[in-house]
Structure 1
């Protein structure tokens, strides 16, 4: 698998594992016919399409684009536990800022 076509190769693998066809996936998701074949040439999917396909096959988007080797979806808690202390503090700060904006926005 080349890096250029890794997404397509993993998509094709999921389609075969689920005993489907490209056309069936396109129909199920409401995509134009042959739209998934565009990825053969190394074109990257949009974020929206990446998430839709990952949800459809119940794999993580990170798996489809080659950032992970496991198809398993990762829980937020597990991801949080793997962060370094400074990364946890930064995430906490971001969440705190977002939460206070939401509180003031509703009044």
Structure 2
């Protein structure tokens, strides 16, 4: 029995999250029937196909092949972690001001 690859495991996970059938996704991508299911056998996608699949599911190719556990390279967590403490404090103040303004707007009577 062939052990399931990280790629196939994550592909299945993304298919499940999409709430679409594998066949529907294959049709939308213009792939032949069972082309995604065939990755179960341990083969890896070509570079082009990897990028197409990653773009379809809005995840990074690195995530699909197991080079990172974060599905998006633009994750807010990663971006926030790159800030120094002063920048994080400024971000906190901006968020606080934004939320106060949103609360005020929500409390205004509609005209």
TM-score computed with the length of structure 1 as normaliser: 0.65
The structure with the larger Rg is 2
Distance 1:9 1:42 in 2: 11
Shift of residue 73 of structure 1?
Answer: 2.4
The answer to which structure has the higher helix fraction is 1
Which runs of at least 4 in structure 1 moved beyond 4 Å after TM superposition? none
Over aligned residues, Cα RMSD in angstroms? 2.1
Q: Specify the alignment match of 1:64 in structure 2.
A: 64
Show CA shifts across 1:75-97 (max 9, x none): 9xx7xx9xxxxxxxxxxxxxxxx
Of 66-75 and 38-47, more deviation after overlay is shown by 66-75
Q: What are the ranges of 5 or more consecutive residues in structure 1 without an aligned counterpart?
A: 82-107
Q: What are the ranges of 5 or more consecutive residues in structure 2 without an aligned counterpart?
A: 83-111
TM-score computed with the length of structure 2 as normaliser: 0.62
Show CA shifts across 1:8-64 (max 9, x none): 110000010111111011000000000111110110000000000000000000000
How many corresponding residue pairs?
76
